[in-house]
Amino acid sequence: MSRGRAFALLPAGAYCIVRAVLDLRGRRHARGLAGLVAGAVILSAQVPTTTPILSPAATGQAQR
């Protein structure tokens, strides 16, 4: 999953949580619980990151 798509899931997860709270307050327990679970799953998705590690040996600039 690309980084942009992962961050695009943030509003979807937040919407699920907010909608779940509204459903629970309206005594729609099954929909509220399903929304909480869905929001938690969406928000717990890992955001892929890449950090290049540049060592002197990898760049060909090793000390002699």
For residue 19, CA distances in Å to 30, 37, 39, 43 come to 12, 12, 9, 14
Q: What tens digit of pLDDT does each residue of 11-22 get?
A: 999 999 999 999
Residue 8's pLDDT is 81
Q: What is the pLDDT of residues 32-64, one digit of tens each?
A: 999 999 999 998 887 666 766 666 666 666 555
What is the rounded CA–CA span in Å between residue 6 and residue 10? 7
Length of the chain: 64
Q: What's the token pair of residue 56?
A: 């002197």
Q: Is the pTM of this model over 0.75?
A: no
Q: For residue 9, what pLDDT is reported?
A: 87
